[in-house]
Structure 1
């Protein structure tokens, strides 16, 4: 008969082992220590997150600070370069108002001739005075924007737009004047003109960099309109007849005609000579030169040209008797069949006044 003494009862299988007080205390200590370690690990793992967030904030603030310093730096450039231009134009304005000769380390007499030519005024206003106002405006705006202290309650956006318009207008005028310098005064040199052009173009490019590509795209239409208005105003001013006399002493000189004559201009020049048409001019007159350029070098020699100041010009010099008798008041002046035409004329107008037929224009003699 089998014995069941060796099989434990169910109550013994599920009985909790007996533990002594010391064992219980040790277990609680281990559990508590593990909990503290776990909390420490969580805290340690979360600390870097809290540490990184302030660093990110610092980077953001540093970035904005860097952006702000860049803007202030560009405003300082406006103030500095505008100030240099203001000083230069102040000097030239003083010379213009006192009728004094400029000190020209480069260019000599040709520099003085350019500064006192008809191109040194726009609608009768001395060009240095206009530059003085423009450079002064840029300088004031640069200083005010750098100090974040705009006048008349103006905000920074409006101040920057005024800078954009001003520097665009100045750059357009400088490009136009460089064209005049290279075409009307070929071979001459004017250090003040070149310095002013350099300053204006530098201010313009600083503005482009300060605004950025996206902002410039939005204001491109405004810039084109301003540049077109400046060029149109200058062209209109210089398109009028030249004054009867310059405001400086000039020795007579000749300017080479660089264009070639066509059969049409040769035919017209011969016809004008045959009817006794006369062209009155002065050796310094740029419009007289342009008129001759229309005909070309060979045809210009066939014109009956009357020089009104053959001995040069200086204060008090009288106009030649032939010009005085004809009542010449500006250059060039054409007298054709008793008709007086003042200023530079189109070839078609000269053909009309002289009776040169249109058929002859298409089929020259």
Structure 2
């Protein structure tokens, strides 16, 4: 019995405190039992229970399922970000590849309404950095971004590079690209005033998008650690471009002085029976070709048909009174939503740029039998 009592008491928790007796006047006993000013120890006993404690008193635990779910969400977010890197980098590669083609071949880009082309920019002294064509440099940089982001998305970096170092490398590349793009926009607005290049602007926009994506990928604490290095990198890029362009000659502004009186273009090639039959067919179905007299691509499109067949085309000149700053495009062209030249509208479908005769035949439903019949008639 004594042992049982000992076990029962030993399983209890003891708390010691003190309480003060009330004044003697409030005790309903005789004064001989009063002990004024005395404090007696009190013992509070709280026995333990075999029942589980309340969940509020226990520390929260992280279950494996919630941990794996959180890791999966982070992985999915990172993968999505690197997919955007890859897509934008791929678009940038296509854009700069086309600009490289124009630079190497000396060709003109698709003619915009304003009359200028990318040729003025690509043929200027600012289209090369230390002798290397600028579009080639852009193509290489976009290629690096595309390849590195693809490897980061798969977490399979070469040469034993850690993922963290790969992220910082991507951040550095996009910082350099954004700095260069900002400098080029400055050059375009000051040294090349009056010239415009839509493809160059698209490339700059993509560079800025990639830079902001890298800012999102790198945490604020990490940015604070490398902000000095990134600033030095941007300064180095701008200084290098400035040194390269120190002897470059600016292009005089043409936007305010350009004035082109209308002139009729001369077509020198002869037409084949097939081209004549196709031109008549296009006219019969209401197909229209919209162009401008100063557009070299429009002239080349007519040369494909030849001088005889070109007369059969339903051609719409969008600037019949010539062109100068402030001249409005012909209302028929504006109503058709023409944005560049040449533009074909065939069966209510819009097609831009020069188009081969075989493609025009396919678009318009011109059959080989019709061509043979036209040849026999002639």
Structure 1 residues 54 and 241, CA gap change in structure 2 (3 angstroms): closer
Residues 1:171 and 2:174 aligned together: no
* Structure (1/2) with the larger helix percentage: 1
Residues 1:135 and 2:142 aligned together: yes
Q: How does 1:13-32 map to 2 (within 5 A)?
A: none
Residues 1:234 and 2:234 aligned together: no
What corresponds to 1:146 in structure 2?
A: 153
Given candidates 97, 110, 114, the residue that maps to 2:104 is 97
Structure 1 residues 60 and 49, CA gap change in structure 2 (3 angstroms): farther
CA contact under 8 A between 1:104 and 1:191: conserved in structure 2?
no
CA contact under 8 A between 1:171 and 1:201: conserved in structure 2?
yes
* Structure (1/2) with the larger strand percentage: 2
What corresponds to 1:184 in structure 2?
A: 191
Distance in 2 of aligned mates of 1:107 and 1:89: 22
Offset from partner CA, 1:77-111 (integer Å, 9 cap, x none): 11111111011111111222222222244654243
Q: How does 1:1-365 map to 2 (within 5 A)?
A: 42=51, 53=61, 55=63, 57-105=64-112, 107-240=114-247, 242=249
Task: Give the SS at the match of 1:102.
Answer: coil
Structure 1 residues 103 and 75, CA gap change in structure 2 (3 angstroms): same
CA shift, 1:164, in A, is 1.0
**TM-score (normalised: structure 2):** 0.50
User: Number of matched residues?
Assistant: 209
Which runs of 5 or more residues in structure 1 are unaligned? Answer: 1-37, 247-251, 257-365
Structure 1 residues 163 and 49, CA gap change in structure 2 (3 angstroms): same
Q: CA RMSD in A?
A: 3.0
Distance in 2 of aligned mates of 1:131 and 1:158: 23
Distance in 1 of aligned mates of 2:153 and 2:89: 14
Structure 1 residues 241 and 109, CA gap change in structure 2 (3 angstroms): closer
What corresponds to 1:30 in structure 2?
A: none
Structure 1 residues 185 and 68, CA gap change in structure 2 (3 angstroms): same
CA contact under 8 A between 1:107 and 1:191: conserved in structure 2?
no
Offset from partner CA, 1:184-221 (integer Å, 9 cap, x none): 23343211111011000010011011102111111111
- When Rg is computed on C-alpha atoms for both structures, the one with the higher figure is 1
